[in-house]
Structure 1
Amino acid sequence: MELDGRVAVVTGGTRGVGAGIARAFLAAGAEVVVCARRPPDSPVVSDGRAARYVPVDLRAPAAVKDFFAGVARRHGRLDVLVNNAGGAPYRLLRDGGPARHARVLELNLVAPLTASLAAHGLLRAARGCVVMVGSVSASRPSPGTAVYGAAKAGLESLARSMAVEWAPEVRVNTIVPGMVRTELSHLHYGDEQGIAAVGRTVPLGRLAEPDEIGDAAVFLASGRAAYISGASLLVHGGGERPAFLGAATVNGAAAGGSAGAPAGATTRTTDDKEG
């Protein structure tokens, strides 16, 4: 298969988007290691093969360094690092003090940098790649998750600079997902009716599936993307319909949606990841 013989680490790969990414790498033939603070409720498997779980707190640099040393001892190489771990609870800026907001930055921006630095030597030896998992929250207002959006914007900027500094040995790219249906979607969007209604705000008419984000990650890690570095790949189903289309009383169909269509202003939180 496409990634036979390759070794991939997926941070936060025990559930949600991370588990979908891990399954996609397994299906592509890679050996997959997932890490998170808590173990998965059930093994992450695909095509009869399972990802290996290792506990680690990505906010502890010494533990992260030890984790990658363990990957080197067991597998002898590292070809792909997917920095997926992250998330943020819904919290308005005025309701969280500086320390709480700093923890969001630490998990979503500092931790991917810590992991990337710890993995750099292995990735350079394998001429491998880093895939950051960003968010559409990086490029549009995210009330209730403002610091998360700021962290993800910083992550994209970090990835672009890393792509220049670490070339040509290591490629670095960012996947930018929109809303994704996971086992925790009901916490963000409500019951099945609510999830379907939110999905209708997306041009493609539904939320993404975790494995679809995984397919994009596999592409960026594969030889088919050998000349792609410093890029941000949007995987958001066409994005969000502009709010004015829902408010306009003329030309609704011509503008790409009916006048009564939802405006797509739902805020995506990311508790479907695991740090």
Structure 2
Amino acid sequence: MSNAAERVVVVTGAGSGIGAAVAHRFAAEGATVVVVGRTREKLEGTAAAAPAGGSVLVRTADLTVPEEAEALIASTVAELGRLDVLVNNAGAPSFGTVEAVAPDAWRAVMAVNLDAVYHTSRAAVRHLRATRGCIVNVGSVSGLGGDYGMAAYDAAKGAVVNLTRAMALDHAPEVRVNAVHPGFTLNTGITAGLTADMPVVQSFAGRIPFGRAAEPEEIAGVVAFLAGPDARYVTGAQIPVDGGLGAATGQPRVDV
């Protein structure tokens, strides 16, 4: 595995939240980070706020389109000479039961949360094989269990879980593939503007053994571990970063 200061890292969905935090973490370690998304202004904000250490390059692409995913990876390797880490973070929430979600909305959720992972990984694998690099997929606790009223999102994130396992098997030992599954996290696209004292946040926090929501930087730390040398024998892993939420049965706390 390359020295951190030599690595080229592509982070999708990097305009804000977890993606921006991941990009900043790799930049602080000295990597060259390519931040990808649909909105240049947001990506430029991520680049401008990056800590000293590495360099951050902005690229716009719609990764639900296979040709754009292929062009992104090809141009990155052509310009920078290599690819060491792909972080598939791009995604978007969706609400509704199967009865309420229209077919076109269902397809759109799958395109953003699942198809983009497939397209970008497919384009990247051969380049990662050359560097013995890795893929880290950012899933969700919603892929490890069900939510009320989030049928399409849960289905897409559940598929990311098993896609991660399949890729880990298919591409070992040259390319490691793992997934991080955040729980309720503040300062992301869906939680922008929420603060810890708001009733909705307190409702989530009341279910979490840590008693609070996560911050994007806490997710980024686990992504960085999986992409680093200390995880060189880890592949196919599904790591929840949820403050202990998944350890519970869902029954209420009873003090005895």
Q: Within the alignment, does 1:201 sit opposite 2:207 as a pair?
A: yes
Deviation of the 1:183 alpha carbon: 4.9
Within 2, Cα distance between the matches of 1:227 and 1:214?
20
Partner of 1:39: 40
**After superposition, where does 1:43-192 map in structure 2 within 5 Å?**
43-44=46-47, 45-48=49-52, 50-184=55-189, 186=191, 192=197
- Given the alignment of the two structures, is residue 14 of structure 1 paired with residue 24 of structure 2, yes or no? no
Contact 2:16 2:189 in 1 (8 A): no
| Paired letter, 2:50 | S
CA distance in 1, matches of 2:119, 2:222: 23
RMSD across aligned positions (CA): 2.1
Distance apart, 1:47 and its partner CA: 2.4
Aligned-residue offset at 1:150: 1.1
Q: Is the 8 A contact 2:110 2:156 kept in 1?
A: yes
Could you tell me which amino acid in structure 2 is paired with residue 21 of structure 1?
V
Supply the AA of the counterpart residue of 2:71.
D
SS at match of 2:146: coil
1:264 matched residue in structure 2 = none
Contact kept, 8 Å, 1:2 with 1:28, in 2: the verdict is no
SS at match of 2:214: coil
Task: Please list every run of 5 or more consecutive structure 2 residues that lacks an aligned counterpart in the other structure.
Answer: none
Given candidates 215, 236, 239, the residue that maps to 1:233 is 239
Higher relative contact order (CA 8 A, sep 6+): 1
Q: What is the CA-CA distance between 1:164 and the residue it aligns to?
A: 1.0
Aligned counterpart for 1:253 among listed residues 240, 248, 255: 255
Shift of 1:60: 0.8
Work out the CA distance in 2 between the residues paired with 1:151 and 1:172. Answer: 18
> 2:108, 2:59 → 1: CA distance?
22
Of 198, 210, 221, the residue aligned with 1:215 is 221
Task: Return the offset for 1:200.
Answer: 3.4
Structure of larger gyration radius: 1
Q: Aligned residue pairs: how many?
A: 249
The residue matched to 1:117 in structure 2 has which SS?
A: helix
Q: Secondary structure at the match of 2:5?
A: coil
TM-score by length of 1: 0.84
Which residue does 1:29 correspond to in 2?
30
Q: How has the CA–CA distance of structure 1 residues 183 and 100 changed in structure 2, closer, same or farther, with 3 Å as cutoff? A: closer
Name structure 1 gaps, 5 residues minimum: 247-251, 255-275
Give, in angstroms, the shift of residue 126 of structure 1: 0.6
CA distance in 1, matches of 2:46, 2:252: 44
Q: Distance in 2 between matches of 1:152 and 1:89?
A: 11
Deviates more, 1:81-90 or 1:219-228: 81-90
Which stretch shifts more, 233-242 or 180-189?
180-189
